[in-house]
Structure 1
Amino acid sequence: MHDMEFTPEELLQQLRELDEHPRIEAKLGRDAGDSVMQTVCAFANEPGLGGGFLMLGVAEPDDAHAEFWVAGVTDSDKLLGDLQHHCRDQFEQPIPVRGEAVLLEGQRVLIVFVPELIPAAKPCVFKGKYDSKNKRKSGIWRRGLNGDYECSQQELEPILLAKAGTSFEQVVPAEAEWEDLDPAAIALYRALRQKVRPHAEELQASDEEMLHALNLVKRQNGQLLPNVAGLLLLGKPLALRRLLPAIRVDYVRIVGTQWVEDPEQRFATTLDIREPLLRLIPKLEAAILDDMPRHFRLREGDTQRSDEPLLPQKVIREAIVNAVMHRDYQVNQPILVVRYSNRLEIRNAGYSLKPNALLGEMGSIQRNPCIASVLYDLDFAETKGSGIRTMRRLLENAGLTAPVFASSSQSNLFTATYLLHQLMDTEQLQWLQQFSYFGLNDDEAKALILARETGAVDNASLRAITGLDTLSASQVLRKLHHQRELLVQGGASSATYYQLRNLPELPLFDGVDTSDLTPNTSDLDSNTSDLRGDASDLPPELLAAMATLGTKPRREKLWPVIIWLCAIRSHTAEELAARLGNRQVTALKSQHLSLLREQEKLLQYSYPEVVNHPQQAYATTAAGRAWLAEQGITVYE
C-alpha cells in the first residue's frame, strides 16, 4: 500500500487525537469476524467518504490504557487472507481491499484500506441479508459519527438513486399533478429568461414542451407530471406545503452572538418563506438586506454618498443561491438563515460534493443539475465553480473576512458563515495585545478570536477558518490549553471543545459600530411564542407522560417525551437527563440522543457549526414534529 495517504503513525495519532474518526476504525483483530466485516461494508457504502482505514491490532482505551494502544496481531498473513476472502465471498459485490502488515510501536499491526464503491456498484450488502420489506433493517451498513450502523430503507434511498444514475430532484412525488405548477411562476420564468436571452428557443415552445425540455416535468402514463425540481422552481405554495412540507427557508434574527443567550427571548424576529425558488430567492434576499446594517460610502469621483449594506448584495445573492442549489432536498429540514449581531449563518442539508480544500477552485459538482441549469439560465447562479471565489473577492473589497465554510459528510450538513467584520480587525487586534508576550502565530490568534466570538472553539471550527488539517488544528488548541494556558478544555475525546480561560474583562465584540448604521427589521414579525420555562410551563399531557416513564422505559415511551420536550424548546443533554429523572447523561446520549439525531433525523444540534459547543443542545426537526403528529401529539408554537 505504498500509495496510502496516511502513514500508520499518522493514523494512530489521529485516532488518539479524535477518539472517534469517520475514516479510521481500530479493532483488536483476533479474527475477521462480524464486527470487522460490518465496518468494511460501511466504508464501502458511505457516500462522499472516500473509503476508510481499518487498523487491526489496535485496541480502544481501557482501565490500563488512557488512549488507543497497540496490542498487535499474531498471524497477520492469515488475518489478511481471511479478510480478503470474506470481502470476495460475503458480499453481493466483491470489495477490493488493500492491506499490509507494518511495525507500529514495536508490534505487528495490519493496516487495511477499504475503498468507497462507485455508485453503480452500491449498495454493498451481505449476501442474503437485504429485505426490502423490513423498514428498520436492511443488511446494509453505513458509517456514522459514532461508528457503523445498519441503515434503514429511508437511509438507503440516496444510494439507490445514485445507482440508477438519477437524483432526488428528478423524482415525481406521489399525488403530484400538472395543476400543482403555478402559471404565474411559469410566466415569471419566461419574463426573466427573455431578459437574459430574448430569442431563447424554449421561449418559442408551449409551457408543456418548455418544462419538458428543462427536465422539470416527467411523462407518466401519458401525462406530464412535475418532478421535485419543477415543484421547487415553479410550484404553487399550497402544493409545496402538501407535497414537500419541510421545503422552506426559516430566517431568524438573534439578539447577540449565540443561538440561545436569553432563555426569556429565544428569537428576536422570525420569517418563514415557502415559495417557488424563482420568488423565494429575491424575497429572502430582500429580507436579509432590510435587516442588514448599512453604511454610507463616498466612492472616488462620486458627488454623493451611497447607502450600502454592510454585506455586499451580490454576496448575499450568491450565498442564497448556493444554499438552494446545492441543498439535499431528500432531507426533511428547512434551510436555516440566522442573523446574529456579528455574523450571518446559512445552514442547509447536503455536504459539499467538493472537498473543502477545493472550494473556490474552478469547476462545479452539482447535486441538483436541473435546478442549477434553470438558475444559471436566468442569471441567478453560475455553474463554473467560481461563485465562492467571487464572494471572497467581493468581501475582500468590502474589507470583510472571507466566508467560513463547514461541510460534514457524516451529518450531511453545510454551514456558511459571513462575519460582519474582519476577523482580525482593529478592535480584535487591540484585544489580542494583552497576549503579546506569548508571541502568538496567526492560527493561535484566530483560535482565541473564534472562542471569544462564539463562546467556544473546537477542531472542526478552527479548521474552517484557518485551512489547517485535523492534526495541526489539534496541536494549536492543545498548545493554547497546555502551554499557553489561555483556553480551558471541556468535553472529552471527539466531544472536546475549548473556552477562554478567565481573562481580563473586556467588552465582547457584539457586531459593528452602529453610529453609521441603520438596521431595519420593520417587516419581520416578532415571535416569542415558543418560549417555555420550567416544568410548570409544560403541557399537562407531557407532564403525565413523563410521570409514567419509570426507571427503565422502553424507547416507544421515552422517545416521544424527548422529542416533545425538544420541540417546545432546545434542551442540552444534561437538561434532558434531569427532566427525565436524573438519568446518566452518557447513556442517554449513546442509547437515545445519538440515534434520534444521526439515524432517525428527529433531532438536530442547535450549534451544528461547533459540534462540541459547551451549550450544545438538541432541537426537534421538522421530521420530528411530523413524527410526533403521527403519534397523536401536537406541539403548539
Structure 2
Amino acid sequence: METSRGELAEVVQQLRSVGTDLRHIEAKAAVGGLPKSLWPTISAFSNHGGGVVLLGLDESDGFLPAEGFDAIAIRDAVADAFRPRRAADGAGPITPRPLGTIDVDEVGGSPVVVIDVAELPPSQKPSFVTAQGKEGGTYERVGDGDRRMSTYGVFLLSTDGAQPHEDSTMVDGASIDDLDPGQVSRFIARVRRTRPRSVADLSHDADILHRHNVLAADRSTPTLAGLLALGRYPQQFYPQAIITFAVYPGRTKADVIGDVRMLDRRIIEGSIPVMVDDAVLAILENLKTRRISRGAGAVDEPEVPVDALREAVTNALTHRDYSAWALGEQVRVEMFPDRIEVSNPGGIWGGRRVVDLYDGSSRSRNQVLAALLTEVPLPGRDESVSENAGSGIPRMTGVLGRAGLPAPKFLPTVTSMTVVLDRHGLLNPDSSDWLRSIGADSLEPDLQRALVLVHRGNAVDDQILRAALVMDSEDAKHVLRRLVDDGWLAFPPRIGETYRSGRRLIAGELNARSLFEGFPVEVNEVQAASPLDERILNAVRERGELGINELARYTQSTPGALRPRLRVLVAQGALIATAPAQSKHRRYRIGDSTAL
C-alpha cells in the first residue's frame, strides 16, 4: 500500500529501525478503542506538513501488531471523525473536519488502520481538538510528539490568509525628527529619479514621505516601515528590532571548546540598511577566504558568497513578523563551523510551502516595508536594500551553486523561519563518506550531489535542483528520473510537492546507521517492497498503453489507489495521458523522458 510517506512496508521498517515515532509518522496500538492521543496527532499533522498514523502497531513491542486490535471497528470510528457534518450533527472530535484517507492493510499478516492525514489549506487552519477549544487544543509536531501550540502560533495560523498591516501603523511617540535626514534626502532623490510619476505633483518632502508610507496621514508621525527603513535609531521604540550575532566553536550551541562558549558575539542595531551591512560585515570577519584565479590574476573570496549572505539577512529583516506578538523577538544570525543560520520570528506567510520559495514569485507579509526597501539606498552607495521582485532566493541559490555550495535550506515552523547556508561544498569528505556508506559512491557526480542535498534535508524538485547545481532544467529532470529509476528517490507524494527518499536510499541509510550502532539491519526487508509507482511504470513499459482498470489488474491495486499516483506521474512527465481526465478512453503510456 502506498502512503504519502512511502510504501507501507518501508514506513513500518523506518519505525522499527529507529525504535520510535517520527516527525510525520505515528503508530498507536489502539486496543480497546480510539486513544485520546489520536486527536492531538491529527491536529498537528493537519496544521503542518501532513502525516501518516498507523493504528494497530504497538510501539512498546517494537511496532509489532497489537494483540486484540479490532481494525474494522477502529476504521469506522476514525471515518466518523473525518466525515462531512451537517449543522444538526454537531462538531466532530477535530475542528474543522480533517482531510485525508483511511484504509485497512496488513503488516506481518495482521490488519492495521492507515490514516493518511493531509495538511489543511491556510484558510481552514488551525485544526484543533474540539473539546479543548482553539486556544488549548491546537497542536504542532515537535520531534516524535505532539505539543500544544503557543497562543502566538494559533494567532499566526488563524491570520495566515489575511494581509498584515502592522508595517503601516503609526509609531506612538515618534516624530519626523526620528528619521535620519541624510537617508531621507537620499531616498527622496532616488525616488525622484527612479519613480518620477509617484512624486510629479508633490513639492514638499513630507508629502513625498507620506505617499511612500514613510509618514502616516498626519505627515509628521513615522510608520513602522518608515522608522525601520529610514530611522535614526528604531530601537528606541522597538528595543528587540535588532540582530543578535553569535559565532559558536562547535556544531551546536551546547558545544564548549575548553572554556570558550562563543567565539564572537554582537548586538547589531540601527535602521534596516545599516543592520544589513553590519551583519554581513560581522559574518565576513568570521569566515575563511579562498584564493580564486581570475584571468591573469587572483582574488580572495569568502567561503560563502556575499550576495547570498546579504539576501539571507535582508529577507529575515523584511519578512519577519512585526506584530505585537513578535516584537519581543529579534532576528538571529548564528555561525557554526559547518553552516550559517539566519532565523526570524514568523513562519512562511500566505500559505506558501518551502518549494514555493524557489519559484521566483514575490509575496510579502510586510508589503509596505518590502516596497519601501526597494527605494531605500544602502549606506554609502546608491544600491537599494532589496528588489522586491521575487528574484532574491533564486539569485541566492544561483550564486551558492556557482561557488560549489548547496542551495539554501529553509526550516520553517509555524512561528519562525530559519535559512541555513552551508559553508562547505556538497562533495566534501563527510559527504563522500556518507555516499560510500550507502553504496552510492560510484554514481555520477550530479547524481551524488542531488542525493547529498536530500540527505542534508533540502527539498528537491527539478527547479530547485536546476538552481542548486547550476544546470539546465531538462538535465535536472534527467538526474531526478535516473535516481527514481534506480530506487534512490521516489516521486513526490502529491502534485506540487518535492521528491522523497526512495527505498534504496532508505535501506542504505538504515543500514549505515545500524552498522554504526553495531546492529545490522536486513536491508532486503526494505528492498523487497515494490512501490506502487514502480509497479505502474513497469506495467506500462511491459505492456504499452494501459487504461486505469488494466493498470489496477496488473499492479494488484485499485483505481482509487491509482488515481493520485497517476496524477503525480503525469505531472512529472513519467507518464503521458492520451485523453482528458474525464474521458473513459484515457490511457497512459511512458513519457519520453523516462527512456534514459
Fold conserved between structures, TM > 0.5:
yes
1:424 counterpart residue number: 427
2:112 counterpart residue number: 109
Q: What is the alpha-carbon distance in structure 2 between the residues aligned to residue 79 and residue 436 of structure 1?
A: 44
2:276 counterpart residue number: 281
The reply to whether residue 336 of structure 1 matches residue 329 of structure 2 is: no
1:401 counterpart residue number: 405
Q: What is the alpha-carbon distance in structure 1 between the residues aligned to residue 133 and residue 170 of structure 2?
A: 25
Q: What is the alpha-carbon distance in structure 1 between the residues aligned to residue 459 and residue 99 of structure 2?
A: 32
1:240 counterpart residue number: 235
Distance change (3 Å), C-alpha of 1:150 and 1:338: closer
Q: Letter of the aligned partner of 2:22 in structure 1?
A: H
Q: Letter of the aligned partner of 1:193 in structure 2?
A: R
Q: What is the alpha-carbon distance in structure 2 between the residues aligned to residue 323 and residue 443 of structure 1?
A: 36
Distance change (3 Å), C-alpha of 1:355 and 1:488: farther
The reply to whether residue 381 of structure 1 matches residue 386 of structure 2 is: yes
Distance change (3 Å), C-alpha of 1:294 and 1:53: closer
| 1:162 alignment partner, one of 130, 152, 160 | 160
Can you list the C-alpha shifts for 1:448-507, whole angstroms capped at 9, x where unaligned? 9x9xxxxxx99974557998635666534323234xx4x4589xxxxxxxxxxxxxxxxx
Can you list the C-alpha shifts for 1:41-83, whole angstroms capped at 9, x where unaligned? 4444x2xx2444443x333412xx1236464524256324532
Task: Give the CA RMSD over aligned residues.
Answer: 4.9
Give SS of 1:20's match: coil
Q: TM-score, normalized by length of structure 1?
A: 0.58
1:58 counterpart residue number: 56
Give SS of 1:415's match: strand
2:418 counterpart residue number: 414
| 2:187 alignment partner, one of 187, 190, 200 | 190
Contact 2:244 2:332 in 1 (8 A): yes
Distance change (3 Å), C-alpha of 1:254 and 1:205: farther
Distance change (3 Å), C-alpha of 1:73 and 1:206: farther
Distance change (3 Å), C-alpha of 1:261 and 1:50: closer
The reply to whether residue 475 of structure 1 matches residue 507 of structure 2 is: yes
Can you list the C-alpha shifts for 1:393-437, whole angstroms capped at 9, x where unaligned? 333444x32344141436734131231x53435xx4999699799
Q: What is the alpha-carbon distance in structure 2 between the residues aligned to residue 295 and residue 249 of structure 1?
A: 27
Q: Letter of the aligned partner of 1:95 in structure 2?
A: R
1:54-453 alignment, distance < 5 Å = 54-55=53-54, 57-62=55-60, 65-67=61-63, 69=65, 71-76=69-74, 78-84=76-82, 89-90=90-91, 94-95=96-97, 97-105=99-107, 106-124=109-127, 130=133, 138-162=136-160, 165-167=162-164, 169-170=166-167, 172=169, 175=172, 177-178=174-175, 181-184=178-181, 187=184, 190=187, 193-194=190-191, 197=194, 199=196, 201-202=198-199, 204=202, 209-210=207-208, 212-214=210-212, 228-237=224-233, 239-243=234-238, 245-254=239-248, 259=253, 260-295=255-290, 297=292, 299-300=294-295, 305-329=298-322, 331=326, 332-340=328-336, 343-351=339-347, 355-357=353-355, 359-378=357-376, 379-398=384-403, 400-409=404-413, 412-419=416-423, 421-424=424-427, 428=429, 440-441=441-442
Q: State the identity %.
A: 21
Q: Letter of the aligned partner of 1:147 in structure 2?
A: G
Can you list the C-alpha shifts for 1:199-235, whole angstroms capped at 9, x where unaligned? 251584756555554456666xx79865544443334
Contact 1:32 1:82 in 2 (8 A): no
Q: What is the alpha-carbon distance in structure 1 between the residues aligned to residue 192 and residue 272 of structure 2?
A: 18
| Alpha-carbon distance, 1:315 to partner | 2.7
Distance change (3 Å), C-alpha of 1:177 and 1:58: farther
Q: What is the alpha-carbon distance in structure 1 between the residues aligned to residue 144 and residue 373 of structure 2?
A: 38
Q: What is the alpha-carbon distance in structure 1 between the residues aligned to residue 56 and residue 358 of structure 2?
A: 38
1:590 counterpart residue number: none
Distance change (3 Å), C-alpha of 1:386 and 1:442: farther
| Alpha-carbon distance, 1:442 to partner | 6.2
| Alpha-carbon distance, 1:124 to partner | 4.3
Distance change (3 Å), C-alpha of 1:376 and 1:72: farther
Q: What is the alpha-carbon distance in structure 2 between the residues aligned to residue 170 and residue 39 of structure 1?
A: 35
Distance change (3 Å), C-alpha of 1:209 and 1:166: farther
Can you list the C-alpha shifts for 1:274-330, whole angstroms capped at 9, x where unaligned? 112122112222333344444555532x6x654544443323322322332343455
Q: TM-score, normalized by length of structure 2?
A: 0.61
Give SS of 1:75's match: helix
Q: What is the alpha-carbon distance in structure 1 between the residues aligned to residue 79 and residue 460 of structure 2?
A: 44
2:38 counterpart residue number: 36
Contact 1:285 1:316 in 2 (8 A): yes
